[in-house]
């Protein structure tokens, strides 16, 4: 199959590289000349474990190339994926579809024979219909089927998620498109990954409903965590206890500082707006969005409370800035709000993150960056663990205690056993568990 991927951002690059790895011929297109030049020079503009090796192997095998112009490759393609950004529109929170429709028009102009055009970007319900209308009215002579095929890739685990998906959702009722999509995903089908065919609108809603449900699950356990703290229960044990019920499941029940990233905040908001437009509000999700926003600020207050209610003039060491480990992505990261709350409270903030510091520099206020946890802990009044990077899981507590001014750890990801930290003489404040005071 000849595949063209429009948009070489996170989703486009991972999907394009993995399709090439299946044996298809893939051209990844992007309007950014700098991005294409970098990719052609062998540089991968995002941090995703394993991606650079797959890109390199498939370029060498002649199955993967990059281009700034979509027309030549689209003319030859069996399938064209639209994987351009759909940011939240400024002002109203709706998904901004400008790039999607612009790409669709360009594709239609370049298409030659029968071509399947697939939306991989997360698009509101009805976007496929609108693209089809554009094709029908503006390009009536072209033979194009429009399909929805949402992605469910987690940053940091995207290659595994692509190659071992729980399911592949494909929204189309067009018989020719169904055959083409079967062929595209045949290598996974042989791996027994279920292909789930449904109507296009249903497929579009599945994506939003899946992300909203996961965001709600996280928010649920975060509220149970707050309650646990107040009533003396342990949220990790509660999560385990309810997660053993197969109807609930044990995934996405880690209490923390609130969800962030490029998907959950944007997609929950877009679903809320769509539902309001259709006069069918999704109140659970509206509440989820509000709780999660408040939570990030509340985490700042939690740190201040752990520092005896006042951080003015104190030094706080922040471990982890990205919205989750194994990514350099800072989009909607809880660290942004937490750091701001600490700065507002008069603290000086020193931070370290294994991959996110470059991106953080453009976003965070006046803070100091260090080269490792021990450096930023020198003379600190508290350490705050915001992101659960592997290298933070086994810190040398003895060493930290000797360099810190005041041995306090606020663990917003619950990665330490309280008794172990307390044994070293630290004050320890976690999420949804009993604090250990010095
Ligand atoms: C998510 C979805 O998982 C993926 O299927 C979708 O297509 C894109 O959005 P991603 O944003 O990369 O992926 O990360 P994910 O692992 O889902 O985490 C999102 C946020 O939720 C992070 O901030 C993470 O720290 C938080 N989270 C996740 C929790 O706080 N607790 C959990 O139990 C799980």
Mutate to test the pocket of ligand 1, among 235, 263, 336 (most ligand atoms within 8 A of CB): 263
Please state the rounded mean pLDDT for residues 356-368: 94
Percent of the chain predicted with pLDDT > 90: 92
Please state the rounded mean pLDDT for residues 361-365: 92
Judge whether residue 87 has pLDDT over 90. Answer: no
256 lines ligand 1 (CB under 6 A): yes
What does DSSP say about strands 348-352 and 315-319: parallel, antiparallel, or unpaired?
parallel
Model confidence at 135, pLDDT cuts 50, 70, 90, reads very high
332 lines ligand 1 (CB under 6 A): no
Judge whether residue 89 has pLDDT over 90. Answer: no
Q: Which class is domain 200-438?
A: alpha beta
Cα(37) to ligand 1 centroid in Å equals 31
Cα(259) to ligand 1 centroid in Å equals 7
Percent of the chain predicted with pLDDT > 70: 100
Task: Quote the crossing angle between the two packed helices 200-231 and 127-138, to the nearest 10°.
Answer: 160
Contact in structure between 393 and 420 (CB atoms under 8 Å): no
Q: 299-321 pLDDT, tens per residue?
A: 999 999 999 999 999 999 999 99
- Which pTM does this prediction carry? 0.94
SS3 helix, strand, coil % of the chain, rounded to 5?
A: 45, 15, 40
The one catalytic residue among 18, 28, 263, 307: 263
Judge whether residue 191 has pLDDT over 80. Answer: no
Q: What superfamily does domain 2-198 belong to in CATH?
A: NAD(P)-binding Rossmann-like Domain (3.40.50.720)
- Give the phi and the psi of residue 140 in degrees, each rounded to 5: -60, -20
Contact in structure between 215 and 186 (CB atoms under 8 Å): no
Model confidence at 294, pLDDT cuts 50, 70, 90, reads very high
Q: What is the pLDDT of residue 360?
A: 96
Q: Cα 306 from chain centroid?
A: 29
Mutate to test the pocket of ligand 1, among 48, 164, 252, 292 (most ligand atoms within 8 A of CB): 252
Cα(246) to ligand 1 centroid in Å equals 20
Give the C-alpha separation, 249 to 416, whole Å.
23
Q: What is the pLDDT of residue 313?
A: 97
Cα(389) to ligand 1 centroid in Å equals 14
Q: What is the pLDDT of residue 108?
A: 97
Model confidence at 429, pLDDT cuts 50, 70, 90, reads very high
Two tokens at 413?
A: 């990801």
Q: Whose CA is nearest to atom 9 of ligand 1?
A: 263
Please state the rounded mean pLDDT for residues 269-278: 93
Q: 155-184 pLDDT, tens per residue?
A: 899 999 999 999 999 999 999 999 999 999
Please state the rounded mean pLDDT for residues 379-388: 98
Judge whether residue 190 has pLDDT over 80. Answer: no
Cα(379) to ligand 1 centroid in Å equals 34
Cα(173) to ligand 1 centroid in Å equals 31
Whether 2-198 and 200-438 share one fold: the answer is yes
Nearest to 347 by CA among 307, 319, 400: 307
Please state the rounded mean pLDDT for residues 323-334: 95
Give the C-alpha separation, 104 to 113, whole Å.
16
Give the C-alpha separation, 107 to 80, whole Å.
8
Q: What is the pLDDT of residue 365?
A: 85
Q: 230-251 pLDDT, tens per residue?
A: 999 999 999 999 999 999 999 9
Q: Whose CA is nearest to atom 20 of ligand 1?
A: 259
155 lines ligand 1 (CB under 6 A): yes
Mutate to test the pocket of ligand 1, among 214, 235, 334 (most ligand atoms within 8 A of CB): 214
Task: Report the alpha-carbon angle 214-93-329, nearest 5.
Answer: 60
Judge whether residue 132 has pLDDT over 80. Answer: yes
152 lines ligand 1 (CB under 6 A): yes
Give the C-alpha separation, 312 to 373, whole Å.
22
Neighbours of 237 (CB within 10 A): 12
Atom index in ligand 1 nearest the CA of residue 158 equals 12
Q: What is the pLDDT of residue 90?
A: 75
Model confidence at 260, pLDDT cuts 50, 70, 90, reads very high
- Is 307 annotated as catalytic? no
For tokens 């309280």, the residue is 418
SS3 state of residue 229: helix
Domain boundaries, the chain: 2-198, 200-438
Two tokens at 92?
A: 């109203």
Q: What is the pLDDT of residue 88?
A: 79
213 lines ligand 1 (CB under 6 A): no
């Amino acid at each position: 199959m000849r595949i063209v991927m429009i948009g070489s951002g996170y989703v486009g690059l991972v999907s394009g590289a993995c399709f090439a790895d299946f044996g298809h011929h893939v051209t990844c297109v992007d309007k950014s000349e700098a991005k294409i030049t970098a990719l052609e020079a062998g540089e991968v503009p995002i941090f995703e474990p394993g991606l650079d090796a797959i890109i390199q192997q498939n370029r060498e095998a002649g199955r993967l190339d990059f281009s700034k112009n979509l027309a030549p490759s689209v003319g030859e393609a069996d399938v064209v994926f639209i994987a351009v950004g759909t940011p939240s529109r400024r002002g109203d929170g709706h998904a901004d579809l400008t790039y999607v429709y612009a790409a669709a028009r360009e594709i239609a102009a370049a298409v030659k024979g029968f071509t399947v055009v697939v939306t991989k970007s997360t698009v509101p319900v009805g976007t496929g219909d609108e693209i089809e209308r554009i094709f029908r009215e503006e390009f009536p002579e072209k033979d194009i089927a429009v399909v929805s095929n949402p992605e469910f890739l987690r940053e940091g685990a995207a290659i595994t998620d692509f190659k071992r998906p729980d399911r592949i959702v494909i929204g189309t009722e067009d018989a020719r498109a169904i055959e083409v999509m079967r062929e595209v995903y045949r290598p996974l089908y042989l791996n027994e990954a279920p292909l789930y065919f449904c109507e296009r609108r249903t497929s579009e809603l599945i994506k939003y409903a899946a992300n909203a449900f996961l965001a709600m699950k996280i928010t649920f356990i975060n509220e149970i965590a707050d309650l646990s703290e107040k009533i003396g229960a342990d949220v990790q044990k509660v999560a385990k206890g309810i997660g053993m019920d197969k109807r609930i499941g044990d995934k996405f029940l880690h209490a923390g500082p609130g969800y962030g990233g490029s998907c959950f905040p944007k997609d929950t908001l877009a679903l809320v707006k769509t539902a309001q437009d259709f006069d069918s509000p999704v109140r659970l999700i509206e509440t989820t969005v509000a709780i999660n926003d408040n939570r990030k600020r509340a985490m700042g207050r939690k740190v201040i409370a752990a520092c005896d209610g006042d951080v003015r003039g104190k030094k706080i060491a922040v471990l982890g800035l990205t919205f989750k480990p194994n990514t350099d992505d800072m989009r909607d990261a809880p660290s942004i709000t937490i750091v701001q709350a600490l700065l507002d409270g008069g603290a000086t903030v020193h931070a370290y993150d294994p991959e996110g510091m470059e991106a953080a520099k453009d976003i965070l206020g006046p803070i100091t960056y260090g080269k490792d946890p021990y450096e930023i802990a020198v003379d600190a009044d508290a350490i705050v663990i915001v992101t659960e990077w592997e290298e933070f899981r086994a810190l040398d507590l003895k060493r930290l205690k000797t360099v810190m001014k005041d041995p306090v750890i606020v663990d917003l990801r619950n990665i330490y056993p309280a008794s172990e930290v307390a044994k070293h003489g630290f004050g320890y404040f976690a999420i949804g568990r009993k604090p250990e005071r010095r």
